[in-house]
């Protein structure tokens, strides 16, 4: 295996010094190519309540300075197993959602054409639709595990079809999701009506609520999710508001009664070995983030996503 270039050595250069790339990794232009690209999408024009997720990628990168190269929970050194690089941000029009969606889809496709799998940091959840479109061109309809307080399968907001509450309805309608292998995880809170759940079931989604995680436990939930997705190409989409506001106050639409950061990370780790083809973590809004709690949680989620991708590497380096 070609030797990879990993993070800056924090025993030589303090963590608080130097550029804030994700986990202090090299930029993509410094390595030429990569197996996993961590890319930001600073877009939040699709939000329905509190704005600010456009600043999420930079906040998560800053919080990721403390990440280290060995993951003991998964027994993997992800930056040795794969060449991981920070691909910067996809810059898109904040005044035109349709144009932004097209820009994200095109830019994600170009990165994937190099052979890289993407871990994307949002931005609001609108960005999941163009990311799924670009993946479906390579893999066909993909399985989806959607971690979120909300369903995000509503039809429109104020007549708009493309918002952070509609991406997965659009994705099902466009045939880019495998409707035999879809599930929400961590949903909770009030809805507009019972029809929301009925419509969601018709689209093919299973639901694991935050109360289900509490009552059934992580291991049972993971078993059920793995049975649902099987060996299909899998996309993980993680809205940070799946966490309780105690664990993620810095988000646009917080809901009480959510997962703990420990529960979320353990569920993700239980998916080791799944056929993961891409992932995102979205809706980090640092203006509401006290003491960087949300940004820190999101940085660890992104690190776990990179580590899950590393576990599928052909030649795997597991030593610290």
Q: Is 212 annotated as a binding residue?
A: no
pLDDT score for 317: 41
CA distances from 272 to 6, 135, 140, 203, 267 (A): 22, 20, 22, 27, 10
**Sequential DSSP letters for 183-194:** EEEEE-S--S-H
**Per-domain residue ranges of the chain:** 22-310
Average pLDDT for runs of 10 along the chain of length 320: 87 94 98 97 98 98 97 97 97 98 98 97 98 97 98 96 98 98 98 97 98 98 98 98 98 98 98 97 97 97 98 54
Q: How many residues does the chain have?
A: 320
Rounded-to-integer distance, Cα 41 and Cα 108, Å: 10
Among 144, 143, 138, 139, which residue's Cα sits nearest to residue 125? 144
Q: Is 125 annotated as a binding residue?
A: yes
Is the N-terminal amide bond of 103 cis, ω within 30° of 0? no
Kindly report the CATH class assigned to 22-310. alpha beta
Q: Is 89 annotated as a binding residue?
A: no
Q: What is the pTM of this model?
A: 0.96
> Do 20 and 65 touch, CB atoms closer than 8 A?
yes
Sheet holding 177-187, edge to edge: 84-89, 36-41, 117-122, 276-282, 234-239, 142-147, 177-187, 205-209
pLDDT score for 312: 81
Q: Within 13 A of 46's CA, how many CA atoms are on the CB side?
A: 30
pLDDT score for 134: 98
Secondary structure class of 230 (helix, strand, coil): coil
Among 290, 283, 252, 263, which residue's Cα sits nearest to residue 121? 283
Q: Is 146 annotated as a binding residue?
A: no
Rounded-to-integer distance, Cα 37 and Cα 94, Å: 23
Crossing angle of helices 293-310 and 56-63, in 10° steps, is: 80
The first and second tokens of residue 115, run together, are 């052979």
Q: Is 152 annotated as a binding residue?
A: yes
């Amino acid at each position: 295996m070609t030797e990879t270039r990993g993070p800056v050595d924090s025993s030589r250069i303090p963590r608080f010094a130097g550029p804030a790339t994700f986990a202090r990794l090299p930029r993509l232009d410094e390595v030429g190519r990569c197996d996993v690209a961590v890319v930001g999408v600073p877009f939040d024009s699709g939000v329905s309540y509190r704005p600010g997720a456009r600043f999420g990628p930079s906040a998560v990168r800053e919080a990721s300075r403390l990440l280290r190269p060995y993951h003991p929970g998964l027994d993997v050194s992800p930056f040795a197993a794969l060449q991981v690089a920070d691909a910067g941000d996809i810059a898109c029009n904040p005044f035109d959602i349709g144009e932004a969606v097209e820009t994200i889809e095109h830019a994600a496709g170009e990165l994937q054409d190099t052979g890289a799998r993407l871990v994307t940091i949002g931005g609001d959840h609108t960005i999941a639709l163009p990311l799924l479109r670009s993946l479906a061109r390579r893999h066909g309809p993909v399985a989806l595990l959607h971690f979120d307080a909300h369903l995000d399968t509503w039809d429109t907001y104020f007549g708009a079809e493309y918002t952070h509450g509609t991406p997965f309805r659009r994705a099902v309608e466009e045939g880019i999701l495998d409707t035999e292998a879809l599930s929400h995880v961590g949903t909770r809170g009030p809805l507009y009506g019972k029809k929301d759940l009925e419509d969601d079931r018709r689209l093919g989604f299973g639901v694991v609520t935050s109360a289900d995680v509490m009552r059934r436990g992580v291991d049972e939930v993971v078993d059920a999710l793995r049975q649902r997705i099987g060996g299909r190409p899998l996309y993980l989409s993680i809205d940070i508001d799946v966490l309780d506001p105690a664990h993620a106050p810095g988000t646009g639409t917080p809901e009480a009664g959510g997962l703990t950061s420990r529960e979320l990370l353990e569920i993700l780790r239980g998916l080791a070995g799944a056929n993961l083809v891409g992932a995102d973590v979205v809706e980090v809004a640092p203006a509401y983030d006290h003491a960087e709690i949300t940004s820190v949680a999101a940085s660890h989620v992104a690190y776990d996503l990179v580590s899950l991708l590393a576990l599928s590497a052909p030649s795997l380096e597991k030593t610290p």
